[in-house]
Structure 1
Amino acid sequence: MTKVFICGRGGSGKSTITAMFAKFLASEGMRVLVIDADESNRSLYRMLGLSAPKSTLMDDLGGRVAVKKVVFDNKKSGFDEDAKIHVDDLPRTCVSRRDDYAFLAIGKICQPDEGCACPMGALEKGFLARLHAPGWWILVDCEAGIEHIGRGIWRSADIFLVVLEPSHESLEMVKFMSDLAKEVDRPMVAVVNMADDDVIEDVKASLESTGVETVAFFPRDKRIAASNLKGDAVPLLPGFVPFLRSCFEAISEKTNAIGS
């Protein structure tokens, strides 16, 4: 089992990269569970080409009030401390699945003044710590920013895949994320999304000066933009397959090195 935390600034395209990477892995015969850990995003299942689950994991456990009561009042994670959870054990109501290609959302903010996302973060932390699915790839589409680091959810990550777009703010974030990854002793690789030809060399130079390993530069593509605008599934474009394979090989190399 490989748990990949896909991180980035809002608007960097991390959900698009998550969807494409999941489709690539599935096309290679891998078993893939995509976990939507962003309490705001509502379209990831569509990007994956799956139907919407009837509920989120939080809803399936009784909603915000029930989860908050267990997590904060009882100071527990919401799960049996010794429990091991497999993909096959997850309630069908909160999972959208086609064969060995599955999707689950932790929870969503739905109403004004309902409160912060802390219960969702605590639920995610407990769930990921107990998720045990040998042979599966677990792709966690994190919320924008570094909340998963501050809340300690990072402890379940095998590796961080950081998505950045060509901007100064994104470059600053990936440098900071690189420092954090070293501090928590987790490997990290980066990809650049929406990289036009005229900026690639400048971005490469900026990243090389920081020692951040960049494994792929995904070009801007009108077909992907059009699918996102329409709410269609993100296409697995043949021209993108070599970039996705580079991600797969880099992640496999780094996570295998840890296990050896």
Structure 2
Amino acid sequence: MKVAISGKGGVGKTTIAAALTKIFAQSGGTVYAIDADPDACLAAAIGIPEDEALKIKPVVEMRDVIRNKSGSGAFYTLNPKVDDFLDDYSYKLGNIRFLRMGDPKKGGSDCYCRENTFLNALITSLLLDQQDTVILDMGAGIEHLSRGTARGVDMMLVVVEPSRNSLNTAKHVQRMAGDLGIARIGIIANKIRSDKEKEFLLQSFPDNAILGFVKFSESIWANAMKSSSAAELEGELLVEMQKVCLKISGEVGGYK
């Protein structure tokens, strides 16, 4: 199962991605948790200790490794072998394998073409070749996906909160995902405080588009301000995200 997650910054996308990662991991089997949003902090959210998370180097900055895989001269292979890279360089937390991709768009005079090509090969391998579950935490722009790699995405989840800006971003992501050929696009409504907010979102999307409603949590909000902000899989968050996992499984399989 391959699930990509997007949404406007601040809507709780990474908390949702971490919750899904943990729930799928609890069902057995390896889960790849991929942080493809330069502004996100998925490592801390899934429970990697802060001192360990700080040591995790973004893939795009592993220039020596990438040159060894792709070639160090003026010419480099466009399809480097990356399957062993996933085993060698992912951070292991139980049966979760974590990778931080880094920002493919770098400023300055250096050319990052080789690094960007390697990132594309890595995403392609994760989405098209891996048999394990992959959770891809992306920014609102979903830049890491191309029409080719999008073929491997079983479902795109867009996290929204009850605000007009969040809805506008969600509609934009839906259009981009549709243009890339992603057939299954689901909405997760987060930070819901009232029936009025729930109704606002229900009226904003087609029937059955919203897979789940997650109530605003003071404990999660307070936890997000700490240096270690692992998503608390308890209470209503756990119940609601288990429902979401079952709905995803009903469409694409992979969770019981």
TM-score, normalization: structure 1? Answer: 0.78
Give a deviation string over 1:132-151, Cα, whole Å, max 9, x none. 332x2100111233424568
Q: Find 1:141's aligned residue among 112, 125, 137.
A: 137
Stretches of structure 1 that go unaligned for 5 or more consecutive residues are none
Distance 1:75 1:8, change over 3 A: farther
Distance 1:116 1:175, change over 3 A: farther
TM-score, normalization: structure 2? Answer: 0.79
The one-letter code of the counterpart of 1:58 is V
Measured after TM superposition, the shift of residue 78 of structure 1 is 5.4
Q: 1:128 — aligned with what?
A: 123
Measured after TM superposition, the shift of residue 237 of structure 1 is 1.7
The one-letter code of the counterpart of 1:244 is M
Q: Find 1:205's aligned residue among 203, 218, 242.
A: 203
Q: Give, in whole Å, the separation in 1 of the partners of 2:112 and 2:197.
A: 36
Q: Following superposition of structure 1 onto structure 2, how do residues 87-236 of structure 1 map, counting pairs within 5 Å? A: 90-91=87-88, 94-108=89-103, 113=108, 121-131=116-126, 132-134=129-131, 136-149=132-145, 153-186=149-182, 187-197=184-194, 198-208=196-206, 213-232=209-228, 233-236=230-233
Give a deviation string over 1:97-155, Cα, whole Å, max 9, x none. 12311211112589974779876654332112123332x21001112334245686534
Q: Find 1:246's aligned residue among 243, 247, 253.
A: 243
Kindly indicate whether the alpha-carbon contact (under 8 Å) linking 2:150 and 2:181 is maintained by their aligned counterparts in 1: no
Q: Following superposition of structure 1 onto structure 2, how do residues 50-89 of structure 1 map, counting pairs within 5 Å? A: 50=48, 51-52=52-53, 53-62=55-64, 66=67, 74=75, 76-77=77-78, 79-80=80-81, 85=83
Measured after TM superposition, the shift of residue 61 of structure 1 is 4.6
TM-align CA RMSD? 3.3
Count of residue pairs brought into register by the alignment: 244
Q: Give, in whole Å, the separation in 1 of the partners of 2:155 and 2:95.
A: 22
Q: Give, in whole Å, the separation in 2 of the partners of 1:21 and 1:196.
A: 22
Give a deviation string over 1:152-195, Cα, whole Å, max 9, x none. 65343222011111111221232333333333332111101111
Q: 2:25 — aligned with what?
A: 26
Q: Give, in whole Å, the separation in 1 of the partners of 2:33 and 2:159.
A: 16
The one-letter code of the counterpart of 2:120 is K
The one-letter code of the counterpart of 2:92 is R
Measured after TM superposition, the shift of residue 11 of structure 1 is 1.4
Distance 1:167 1:123, change over 3 A: farther
Partner of 2:192: helix, strand, or coil? coil
Matched, 1:40 2:39: yes
Kindly indicate whether the alpha-carbon contact (under 8 Å) linking 1:148 and 1:154 is maintained by their aligned counterparts in 2: no
Measured after TM superposition, the shift of residue 213 of structure 1 is 0.6
Question: Percent identity among equivalent residues?
Answer: 24
Measured after TM superposition, the shift of residue 199 of structure 1 is 1.0
Q: Give, in whole Å, the separation in 1 of the partners of 2:112 and 2:32.
A: 22
Kindly indicate whether the alpha-carbon contact (under 8 Å) linking 2:151 and 2:181 is maintained by their aligned counterparts in 1: no
